[in-house]
């Protein structure tokens, strides 16, 4: 489902991904574990083309994600979940989940918020899956942080994606709620056959929930195996301070155009 080979990405002169190899199968729940700055978010952003990798190969469900002309085709297959649930506060939980269908309805339909009956049924089913059937008609700003994050998961599921990318989805939740949210994600992977790549920086959650852990340190994969094989030495490698200081950006040649790093590249 995901096949990444020797992926590289620099920001200015700073190598952030230094040749990442990473494969994931259908229905796998892969935790990408690493300290802050390891390159986890950059890896996810390359997977849905919010960032453009510099080199290597990146295929998702048969699409060549580095060369495809239409990023929307990729983004229909790839749903994102962020640390800060990007839900629309004034909309009901149900309408937030229905926005997950916008990639599949006509422009006119989406402007008029015309959703097909089957989309509404699907949105209800997705809310039920994350335990929020009873909150469908409540405004999202009346929900707790954990419930908002679950609305975000339900919206991702309503997109019927092949892959869900979750970037530190539980970083701002208490441990009890965090576990419940990770459980929802894992059961979605198992029961719906969705490949989930979930960035985390906590070892205990990675061990508890990952089918597999990919340890990322300073832009390189330093561990890739089942959680029960993760040793203290592996954890030290994942959290080791960088041996290679960041390179300063090379001075541009005289007369060369100056490039500015942009947040959203494609």
**Interacting residue ranges for ligand ADP, rule: CB under 6 A:** 11, 16, 34, 36-42, 261, 263
Task: Kindly state the tokens that stand for 97.
Answer: 């989940």
Q: Which of residues 179 and 201 has its CB atom nearest to ligand ADP in the complex?
A: 201
CB of 122 to Mg ion, least distance (A): 30
Query: CB neighbours of 31 closer than 8 A, spacing ≥ 6?
Result: 198, 199, 200, 205, 206, 209, 210, 212, 213, 214, 227
In the list ligand ADP, Mg ion, none, the entry touching 37 (Cβ below 5 to 8 angstroms by class) is ligand ADP
Q: Which of residues 4 and 127 has its CB atom nearest to ligand ADP in the complex?
A: 4
In the list Mg ion, ligand ADP, none, the entry touching 169 (Cβ below 5 to 8 angstroms by class) is none
CB of 165 to ligand ADP, least distance (A): 12
Interatomic CA distance for residues 93 and 170, integer angstroms: 19
CB of 122 to ligand ADP, least distance (A): 31
In the list ligand ADP, Mg ion, none, the entry touching 220 (Cβ below 5 to 8 angstroms by class) is none
CB of 210 to ligand ADP, least distance (A): 16
Asked if residue 150 lies in contact with residue 184, where contact means CB atoms within 8 angstroms, the answer is yes
CB of 169 to Mg ion, least distance (A): 11
Query: CB neighbours of 66 closer than 8 A, spacing ≥ 6?
Result: 52, 53, 56, 57, 58
Interatomic CA distance for residues 157 and 54, integer angstroms: 30
- CA-based angle 58:183:80, to the nearest 5? 35
Binding footprint of Mg ion, residue count (CB under 5 A): 2
Q: Which of residues 39 and 210 has its CB atom nearest to ligand ADP in the complex?
A: 39
Q: Which of residues 34 and 169 has its CB atom nearest to ligand ADP in the complex?
A: 34
Task: Give the β-pairing of 55-60 and 2-11.
Answer: antiparallel
Q: What is the dihedral of CA 146, 150, 156, 161, to 10 degrees?
A: 120
DSSP for 62-126, written as a single string: TEETTT-S-HHHHHHHEEEE-SS----TTSBHHHHHHGGGGGGS-HHHHHTT---HHHHHHHHHH
In the list ligand ADP, Mg ion, none, the entry touching 99 (Cβ below 5 to 8 angstroms by class) is none
Nearest residue to 97 (alpha-carbon basis) of 134, 146, 148: 148
Q: Which of residues 40 and 101 has its CB atom nearest to ligand ADP in the complex?
A: 40
Per-residue x/- track, 15-54, Mg ion (CB under 5 A): -------------------------xx-------------
CB of 247 to ligand ADP, least distance (A): 12
**Distance between first and last Cα of the chain:** 22
CB of 10 to ligand ADP, least distance (A): 9
In the list ligand ADP, Mg ion, none, the entry touching 109 (Cβ below 5 to 8 angstroms by class) is none
Asked if residue 246 lies in contact with residue 14, where contact means CB atoms within 8 angstroms, the answer is yes
Q: Which of residues 36 and 118 has its CB atom nearest to ligand ADP in the complex?
A: 36
Contacts with Mg ion by CB under 5 A lie at: 40-41
């Amino acid at each position: 489902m995901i096949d990444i080979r020797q992926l590289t990405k620099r920001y200015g002169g700073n190598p952030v991904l230094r040749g990442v190899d990473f494969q994931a199968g259908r229905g796998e729940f892969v935790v990408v574990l690493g300290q802050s700055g390891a390159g986890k978010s950059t890896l996810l952003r390359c997977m849905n083309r919010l960032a453009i990798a510099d080199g290597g190969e990146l295929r998702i469900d048969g699409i060549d994600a580095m060369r495809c002309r239409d990023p929307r085709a990729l983004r229909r297959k790839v749903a994102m979940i962020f640390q800060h649930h990007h839900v629309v506060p004034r909309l009901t939980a149900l309408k937030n989940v229905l926005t997950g269908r916008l990639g599949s309805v006509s422009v006119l339909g989406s402007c008029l918020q015309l959703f097909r009956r089957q989309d509404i049924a699907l949105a209800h089913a997705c809310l039920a899956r994350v335990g929020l059937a009873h909150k469908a008609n409540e405004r999202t700003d009346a929900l707790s942080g954990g419930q908002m994050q679950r609305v975000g998961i339900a919206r991702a599921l309503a997109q019927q994606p092949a892959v869900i990318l979750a970037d530190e989805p539980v970083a701002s939740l208490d441990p009890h709620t965090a576990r419940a949210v990770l459980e929802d994600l894992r059961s979605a992977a198992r029961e719906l056959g969705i490949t989930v790549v979930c960035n985390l920086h906590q070892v205990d959650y990675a061990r508890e929930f990952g089918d597999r852990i990919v340890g990322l340190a300073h832009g390189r994969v330093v561990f890739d195996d089942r959680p029960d094989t993760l040793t203290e030495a592996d954890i030290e490698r994942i959290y080791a301070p960088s041996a290679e200081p960041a390179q300063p950006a090379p001075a541009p040649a005289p007369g060369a155009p100056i490039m500015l790093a942009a947040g959203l590249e494609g």
